[in-house]
Amino acid sequence: MEYILRTFGLSKRYKNHYALDKACMNIQKGDIYGFVGENGSGKTTIIRLITGLISATSGSYELFGIPNKSPDILKARRKVGAIVETPSIYQNMSAYDNLKMQSAIIGINDDNKIKEALFEVGLIDLYSNPKKVGNFSLGMRQRLGIAMALLGDPEFLILDEPMNGLDPAGIVEIRELILKLNKTKSITFLISSHILTELALVATKYGIISKGRIVREITADELRHEFRRSTLIEVDNPFKLSQILPEFVKFKDISLLPNGAKIYGDTDLNILFAAIIKSGINILSVNCNDANIEDFYLSVAGGARHD
Amino acid sequence: MTNLLKTDFKRIFKDKLFMIVCIIGGAFALVTPLLYKVLFSAIDAEELLGAVTSAKSIFFEAFLPGSNFGLIVPVLLSIIICKDFSFGTIRNKIIIGKSRVSIFLSMFISSATVLCATVLAHALLTLFISLIFFDYQAGQFTAGDFGYLMLSILFEMLVYIFIAALISFLSVFMKNVGLAIVMYIAINFIFTIIGSIVMVASLIAEEKNIILEFLHNINIFTSSLIGTGSSYEFKDIMYIVLTPIIGTSLFVFLGITVFKKKDIK
């Protein structure tokens, strides 16, 4: 299992307040890691820490297996691209000039790279456009920021609230871009957002942060399994129910309980209930649950928030 | 480091403010000698002109950190440097693994180079225009004077390297263009005023005061030992060279230390 990023009890204290409190995060190669948390929960703080913008009060992290205290961490950072909060661009320069500047910092002297990056983010028209970035829309700046982050051929791209301020079409474009880059260039992503439904469309793994603590990490598959559509049936004879259910529901979709059973997935409940009644079992209650990422977030972070 | 230097030079030269610096430099170089000429013509005292001023004195005045151009260039350069903080573009350098030491050194070297080049260009232009109206100095221009001129230019450059170190330090320390400028102007004014007070106190003092002389000699902002004679004594050279070198080293060290620990938003 190749880890791109691992943090070990990472903390950041500002005066008397812990912005990040012993955070442990694990991102594997190829992940699209959705980083979810309320405003001020510590999402940007952890991003600033791993990008070297701020230093940790305690704890450590490994980037591409290299510890943060090692001098080689600078080499590891060369494989990282990031947009922290807002894209860092010279407002008084054109898109091309900004990309040229970033190329110069990285040490690239190839205009084709600039063209390629602009093409990837759908801004190729700006290649020879002298319009200053200060006059760009937020969506264009966001995409230009991604283009700049792509210049160094990063293996790990960190996007802090990339959907912020984007119109619906812009959100779709960014989402498709993320999926394309993950698939075609095998770029691992860390995306922080509080637009959970958007994140659910791209993320392969989630990290839930609340009050500076990462309260849960879960893969999208685990989440789907744990929070898929379910029906809770309470009966007077659970043993008899357990004998009937396999005739109508796949075994893996049944979770037997002391007072009944939980059935996952889509099952024709009319047929099932008819069979249960026919076998003489009394149904005491039926509870349908159609949970999603938001319910999951509230169940995990909500508890932490009310601690 | 080379890549960072290239980028820093590029962003300085691409900035409109740099163009403004060049225009202001050209204008001051033209206006200053003309003002002397016009002023003395107006008071009908052109015969005194040669005794009061010369191309040489106007040339060295152009170098003074407290002079118009000497104050404007570092201020505008601070604005350009601080844009990396105000636009957040400093983050791009850190994120892709450039060390903070090399980022600071690149900032210092590029600002020192540009500062020295613009101030020197302005002073030389002032000299050439002054030579149209005035003699270089009262006596004949000798090979010794040429050597003195070259050496003085070198010393002035040391002063501006020190100023570049100071503004680089203030930029990373403040991370805010307004505060960095206010601090620089305040420091410049305070040291210029101290220089004047020390000079007056030295003149009033009946006996030679070693402390006043020392304070007078180490005040980089008044550069009182440079360009005021026709040759340098060894003791003067020590003051002229060592003071900016120690000051530069101190601010570069402080700048690196502060920047290494500074949280970037």
At A131-142, the pLDDT tens digits run: 888 888 888 888
Same domain, A236 and A212: no
Higher pLDDT pick, B46 / A36: A36
Domain end: A219, A245, A260, which one? Answer: A219
Same domain, A150 and A274: no
How far apart are the C-alpha atoms of A156 and B72, rounded to whole Å?
44
**What is the ipTM metric for this complex?**
0.75
- The band of B10, judged by pLDDT with boundaries at 50, 70 and 90, is confident
For residue B237, give its domain range: 2-261
For residue A243, give its domain range: 228-290
Place of tokens 């898109």: A95
Q: Is the pLDDT of residue A306 over 50?
A: no
Q: Which CATH number is A50's domain given? A: 3.40.50.300
- The band of B46, judged by pLDDT with boundaries at 50, 70 and 90, is low
Strands A156-160 and A283-289: unpaired
Domain end: A164, A196, A219, which one? Answer: A219
Q: How many domains does chain B have?
A: 1
Each residue's pLDDT tens digit, A128-184: 888 888 888 888 888 888 899 888 889 999 999 888 777 788 788 888 888 988 998
Each residue's pLDDT tens digit, B92-108: 899 988 999 999 999 99
Q: Do B95 and A81 touch (CB under 8 A)?
A: yes
Q: Is the pLDDT of residue A191 over 80?
A: yes
Among the listed ranges A229-243, B109-123, B210-224, B231-245, which one has the minimum average pLDDT value?
Answer: B210-224
- Given a contact cutoff of 8 angstroms between Cβ atoms, the answer to whether B1 and B105 are in contact is yes
Same domain, A233 and A119: no
How far apart are the C-alpha atoms of B235 and B252, rounded to whole Å?
26
Identify the burial level of B10 via C-beta atoms within 10 angstroms of its C-beta, where 0-12 means exposed, 13-18 middle and 19 or more buried: middle
Shortest Cα–Cα distance, A2 to chain B (Å): 21
Find the closest chain B residue to A13 by CA distance: B263
Contacts of B265 in chain A (CB under 8 A): 48, 53
Residue A297 counted as domain residue? no
Find the closest chain B residue to A86 by CA distance: B88
Contacts of A105 in chain B (CB under 8 A): 3-4, 7, 92-93, 96, 98
Handedness of CA A7, A11, A14, A18 (dihedral sign): positive
Q: Is the pLDDT of residue A16 over 70?
A: yes
Contacts of A91 in chain B (CB under 8 A): 87
Each residue's pLDDT tens digit, A254-291: 888 888 888 877 778 888 888 888 888 888 988 887 66
Among the listed ranges A89-103, A269-283, B131-145, B166-180, which one has the minimum average pLDDT value?
Answer: B131-145
The pLDDT score that the predictor gives to residue B48 is: 63
Q: Do A51 and B89 touch (CB under 8 A)?
A: no
Q: What angle do CA B47, B52, B55 make, to 5 degrees?
A: 100
Same domain, A237 and A215: no
Residue A55 counted as domain residue? yes
Among the listed ranges A26-30, A287-291, B19-23, B242-246, which one has the minimum average pLDDT value?
Answer: A287-291
Residue A63 counted as domain residue? yes
Q: How many domains does chain A have?
A: 2
Task: Pick B7's closest partner by Cβ from A77, A92, A101.
Answer: A101
Query: Does A145 reach chain B within 8 Å, measured CB to CB?
Result: no
Same domain, A100 and A210: yes
Q: How many whole angstroms from its chain centre is CA B180?
A: 16
Q: What angle do CA B182, B184, B189 make, to 5 degrees?
A: 95
The enclosing H or E element of B16 equals: helix B16-42
Give mean pLDDT, residues A211-227. 81
Same domain, A90 and A215: yes
Mean per-residue pLDDT over chain A, rounded = 85
Query: Does A75 reach chain B within 8 Å, measured CB to CB?
Result: yes
The pLDDT score that the predictor gives to residue B254 is: 94
**DSSP structure class, residue A282:** P
Mutation for testing the A interface, residue in B83, B89, B106 having most A CBs under 10 Å: B89
- Given a contact cutoff of 8 angstroms between Cβ atoms, the answer to whether A88 and B92 are in contact is yes
Same domain, A155 and A199: yes
Same domain, A182 and A210: yes
Higher pLDDT pick, A267 / A48: A48
Same domain, A201 and A234: no
**DSSP structure class, residue A247:** G
Query: Does A138 reach chain B within 8 Å, measured CB to CB?
Result: no
- Rounded percentage of chain B residues whose pLDDT exceeds 90: 18
Domain end: A191, A219, A247, which one? Answer: A219
Higher pLDDT pick, B138 / A36: A36
Mean per-residue pLDDT over chain B, rounded = 84
How far apart are the C-alpha atoms of B170 and B52, rounded to whole Å?
38
Q: Do B92 and A148 touch (CB under 8 A)?
A: yes
Residue A304 counted as domain residue? no
Q: Is the pLDDT of residue A252 over 80?
A: no
- The band of B251, judged by pLDDT with boundaries at 50, 70 and 90, is very high
The pLDDT score that the predictor gives to residue B130 is: 86
Residue A306 counted as domain residue? no
- The band of A305, judged by pLDDT with boundaries at 50, 70 and 90, is very low
The pLDDT score that the predictor gives to residue B44 is: 66
Q: Is the pLDDT of residue B78 over 70?
A: yes
- The band of A189, judged by pLDDT with boundaries at 50, 70 and 90, is very high
Shortest Cα–Cα distance, B106 to chain A (Å): 11
- The band of A307, judged by pLDDT with boundaries at 50, 70 and 90, is very low
Q: Is the pLDDT of residue B45 over 70?
A: no
Who's near B165: CB < 8 A, 6+ residues apart?
B108, B112, B247, B248, B250, B251, B252, B255
Task: Pick A105's closest partner by Cβ from B4, B263, B265.
Answer: B4
How far apart are the C-alpha atoms of A188 and A31, rounded to whole Å?
5
